[in-house]
Structure 1
Amino acid sequence: MHRRPFFLFALLLLILGGAGAAQARELRLVTWNIAWLTLKPTGHPDLPRDVRRRSAADFARLATYAAQLDADVVAIQEIDGEDAAARVFPPDRWGLYLTRERDTQRPGFAVRRGLRVTEHDDLAALDVYAGARHSLRRGADITVEAEGSRLRLLSVHLKAGCRDGHLGPPDDACDTLAEQAGILAGWIAARQREGGAFAVMGDFNRRLDATDAMTRVLTASAPLTGAMFGRGDPCWSRGGGRGRPFIDHILLGGAARGWLRPDSLRVLVYAESDPSARQRLSDHCPAGVTLGLP
Structure 2
Amino acid sequence: MAKSVSTEFYNKMTLSSVLPLAALLAAFFFTQPVSATNIKLASWNMEWLGSGNKPQRGELDYQKLREYALKLDADIVALQEVSSISSLRLVFGQDYRFELSERNHDQKTGFAIRNGIEYRRMPDYAELDWRGNQMLRYGTDISIASNKSGALRILNVHLKSGCFSNSHSNKSCKTLKPQVAQLANWMLLRDRNKEAFIVIGDFNRRLKEKNDYVMSALKAALPSLHSVGHNNASGCLVKKGEGVKAYRSFIDHILVNEAILPNVDEESFIHHAFAKNDVIERELTDHCPIRVTLKNQ
CA–CA separation in structure 2 for the residues paired with 1:130 and 1:276: 39
- Structure 1 gaps of 5+ residues are 1-23, 41-46
Mark the CA change 1:59 to 1:154 in structure 2 (over 3 Å): closer, same or farther.
same
CA–CA separation in structure 2 for the residues paired with 1:275 and 1:122: 33
**1:261 and 1:292 in contact (8 A); partners too:** yes
- The partner residue of 1:32 within 36, 40, 44 is 44
Q: How far off its partner does 1:33 sit? A: 0.3
**Structure 1 equivalent of residue 228 of structure 2:** 227
Q: How far off its partner does 1:237 sit? A: 7.8
**1:115 and 1:146 in contact (8 A); partners too:** no
Structure-to-structure mapping, 1:38-187, within 5 angstroms: 38-40=50-52, 47=53, 51-90=54-93, 92-131=94-133, 135-145=135-145, 149-165=150-166, 171-187=170-186
**2:238 and 2:279 in contact (8 A); partners too:** no
CA–CA separation in structure 2 for the residues paired with 1:89 and 1:165: 37
Letter of the structure 2 residue corresponding to residue 245 of structure 1: S
**2:236 and 2:246 in contact (8 A); partners too:** no
CA–CA separation in structure 1 for the residues paired with 2:154 and 2:255: 10
Mark the CA change 1:276 to 1:144 in structure 2 (over 3 Å): closer, same or farther.
same
Greater share of helix residues, 1 or 2? 2
**Structure 2 equivalent of residue 4 of structure 1:** none
- More off after superposition, 213-222 vs 268-277: 268-277
Q: What root-mean-square deviation, in Å, do the aligned CA atoms of Structure 1 and Structure 2 show?
A: 2.4
**1:267 and 1:288 in contact (8 A); partners too:** yes
**1:233 and 1:244 in contact (8 A); partners too:** yes
Identity of aligned residues (%): 35
**1:98 and 1:106 in contact (8 A); partners too:** yes
Mark the CA change 1:163 to 1:39 in structure 2 (over 3 Å): closer, same or farther.
closer
TM-score, normalised to structure 2, is 0.78
1:189 aligns with 2:188: yes
- Structure 2 gaps of 5+ residues are 1-35, 240-244
Q: How far off its partner does 1:72 sit? A: 1.1
SS in 1 for 2:216: helix
1:202 aligns with 2:195: no
TM-score, normalised to structure 1, is 0.79
**2:237 and 2:246 in contact (8 A); partners too:** no
Mark the CA change 1:206 to 1:192 in structure 2 (over 3 Å): closer, same or farther.
same
Paired residue total = 254
**1:31 and 1:74 in contact (8 A); partners too:** yes
CA–CA separation in structure 1 for the residues paired with 2:246 and 2:88: 30
**Structure 2 equivalent of residue 261 of structure 1:** 265
Q: How far off its partner does 1:229 sit? A: 4.8
